Amino acid sequence: MLKIYNTLTRQKEEFKPLHPGVVNMYVCGPTVYNYIHIGNARSAIAFDTVRRYLEFKGYQVNYVSNFTDVDDKMIKAAHEQGITVPQLADKFIQAFMADTTAVNIEPATKHPRATENIPDIIAFVQTLIEKGYAYESDGDVYYRARKFAHYGQLSGQSIDDLEVGASEHVSADEIGKKEDPMDFALWKAAKPGEISWDSPWGQGRPGWHIECSVMSTKYLGQTLDIHAGGQDLEFPHHENEIAQSEAATGQLFVRYWMHNGFVTIGKDNEKMSKSLHNFITVHDIIKTVDPQVLRFFMATTQYRRPIQYSEDNLTDAKNNLEHIQTAYDNLTYRQQDAAAGDDALVTQQLADFTARFTTAMDDDINVQNGIAVVYELVKAANTYAQQAAVKQGALQAYKDKLAQLISIFGIKLVAHDNHIDDEQIKALIEERNQARKNKDFARSDQIRDELKQQGIILEDTPQGTRYKKEQ
């Protein structure tokens, strides 16, 4: 039985989607004014892993993740680069798709853009005005936060406490326009030279929060099963989404709220910021780090926990991933001399591993306990592959199970091509085998080093020496 920690209720709850067998899931996507940073990647990878596990359990997942392609940051960045806001958006949406593909994130069922949904946004705002939850003021439209009875419930704050914080961040100009410091913008009047659209309130553009309310309900229905994003979005973004959506529809907006933990940088757990010169983009990381390693590192930390991004932790992830890949290669290698048939004991063992893995993951997608089961499976697979006599069916069953479980973490296992045509290399391997028999270990080590320089890795096993091309 899958349980998910619901941020709204602050407890783990049994997961029951609104429609049996179908999960409608919305994940806040990036504002596309730059390459995605490691914090954006954490959210995208964490919830892609959740999606994969839901699919493993047999659910059809309708997964919507938006692009915010108009806001203050977009306007500023486009102006600085001397291009239009749509041109900037196209550039970084393309980069987002390339970077997320590299770390094996499945494309969303739908990737809507805010600017594609302007008529729907205007209609949504109009509904809120008609219901008395919003008002126009000098071309802007604001939401009456106090009118929504449950405002502050998601972030666990009283509206009076929130007002104190809001008052510190509201300009004198805004104070003059608003009925209350807590009120937030649904529609913003255009400033000279800004991108804008016609509306009943004059030229302008949507506020940030309204975009997600409109796109999520448009593509997934009035009540979502899961709404997910980073912890930093709980307030004000998600709090405002709830207020807007439930006021407009009169329905529960989200059944389960999921929020991922932060990413810190280096051994000192610094918060990522441009001023500290530790701002890291995925675009730059994958120039020097294997994207699969990055994916494995981030996917194997439970989504609610913080992640410490450091060279040491990346190295650990690389070593652990290589350990899994080697086991897969060991199984492939033994298929060369395996007898036909299955092994009943292996079949039962794999069923037990699957059950243990599912139990671990059913506890709020506990990937750390889930990957621990995979490591035990790797150990069992290696032990079997080292037996004197092995069965084809059992070897394939181990491979299939490893590939299935590790795919939930976004990792694709591929058997390495160990075919080497170079007769000289084969001769060197044979010479080394002979040197080992003669106890000429100096020559044996020399040959190993020579082959390593050529990208050939030797592995000595109970079944003899095998080789593989360095990846």
Averaged pLDDT for residues 267-292: 84
Q: Are residues 330 and 264 in the same domain?
A: no
Cβ count within 10 A of residue 438? 10
338 and 459 part of one domain: no
Residues 236, 89: one domain? Answer: yes
Q: Which helix (H) or strand (E) holds 48?
A: helix 38-56
Residue 92 is part of which domain span?
Answer: 3-133+209-282
User: How many Å is the Cα radius of gyration of the chain?
Assistant: 27
The answer, yes or no, to whether residue 419 has pLDDT greater than 70, is no
* In a domain? residue 203: no
Let me know whether 400 and 445 are in one domain.
no
CATH of the domain at 10: 3.40.50.620
Single-letter code of the amino acid located at 298: M
Phi, psi of 418 (to 5 degrees): -100, 15
Q: What is the mean pLDDT of the chain?
A: 92
Q: What percent of the chain has pLDDT over 90?
A: 79
Residues 401 and 446 in one domain: no
Lowest mean pLDDT among 164-173, 297-306, 411-420: 164-173
> Is pTM, for the whole model, over 0.85?
yes
**Structural domain contains residue 322:** yes
Structure confidence by residue, pLDDT tens digits, 320-334: 999 999 999 999 989
Per-residue pLDDT at 273: 66
Both 109 and 221 in one domain: the answer is: yes
CA 395 to chain centre: 31
Structural tokens at position 455: 């990208």
Residues 275 and 128 in one domain: yes
What's the total number of domains in the chain? 3
Q: Is residue 278 part of a domain?
A: yes
Residue 214 φ/ψ, nearest 5 degrees: -70, -50
pLDDT tens readout for residues 192-213: 999 999 999 999 999 999 999 9
The pLDDT, as a whole number, for residue 164 is: 62
Position 95 pLDDT exceeds 70 = yes
* 107-131 confidence digits (pLDDT tens): 999 999 999 999 999 999 999 999 9
User: Residue 196's pLDDT is what?
Assistant: 97
pLDDT at 165: 57
Model confidence at 317: pLDDT above 80 = yes
Any domain includes 431: yes
Looking at the predicted structure, is the pLDDT value of residue 163 above 80? Answer: no
User: Cα angle at 254 between 183 and 60, to 5 degrees?
Assistant: 145
Task: Please tell me the predicted confidence (pLDDT) of residue 254.
Answer: 98
444 in helix, strand or coil? helix
Would you say residue 49 lies in a domain?
yes
Q: Is there a domain that residue 196 lies in?
A: no
Q: Which of 407, 434, 458 is the last residue of a domain?
A: 407
